[in-house]
Amino acid sequence: MLKTMKEREGNANSLKKALRVGRRPGESTAREDILDAACERFAEVGYEATTIRSVATSAGVDPALVMHYFKNKEGLFQAVAVDFEQIPETLFSVGSLAHFAEDYFRMWEDPHWGNRIRAVVRSAVGSSRGTELMQQIFIPAVQKAMPLGGNEEEKTQKLTTVGTLLIGTALARYIMEVPMLKDLGPQQLAERLAPALRAIEAS
């Protein structure tokens, strides 16, 4: 087991507190409604298939208002993804890559961060622009909290390998809902990857 029950409960509570940092305070506004609608659209159909009009319809506003706030679809996507620049390092456990993986998968199940991760990752699939934006915003945000040793070249190699494992597993579990994974929780997913992650740490 990666953690005892008490440790898991304590970490889950700490994670929930950290996740709240990303929530927007105060009452809902038209701009926030548009962002929430955009998150849903990007998460459901990806970057290429999302349109300003479909986001406006989901948010219950005129398309002109979406363009007023965000100018175009790319600006809208960047606004959705920019939240990742605010990911607090305290969100992740200090320790092994296996602990990091569990907290990463827990983010996918959080109401706030989960929608944004789905939006960014789903948009990166089949869209060169979506991939570029994910590389610019999402990956660096996660990288700053990932416990990796070695020189810069070694860290880059490890980051690529770990990123492939984490993003690939999350895609299979939370977006594709592969039968053998779709009922597994964050801890179980991390346990599946633990041997590979330990090997990366030891390399």
pLDDT, tens digit (0-9, with 9 covering 90-100), for 153-173 = 888 888 889 888 998 999 999
Q: Give CA separation, 47 vs 14, 119, 123, 130, 160, in Å.
A: 32, 8, 4, 6, 23
How far is residue 59's CA from residue 124's CA, in Å, rounded to a whole number?
Answer: 23
Instruction: Give dist(CA 107, CA 54) in Å, integer.
Output: 27
Q: What global pTM score does this model have? A: 0.73
pLDDT at 26: 40
127 contact partners, CB below 8 Å, separation of at least 6: 46, 47, 48
SS3 content of the chain, % helix, strand, coil (to 5): 75, 0, 25
Across the range 84-102, mean pLDDT stands at: 72
At residue 5 the predicted structure's pLDDT band, cuts being 50, 70 and 90, is very low
- Say what the pLDDT of residue 19 is: 45
Q: 98 near 197, Cβ under 8 Å?
A: yes
Token reading at 47: 């970057």
Task: Give residue limits of the domains in the chain.
Answer: 83-202
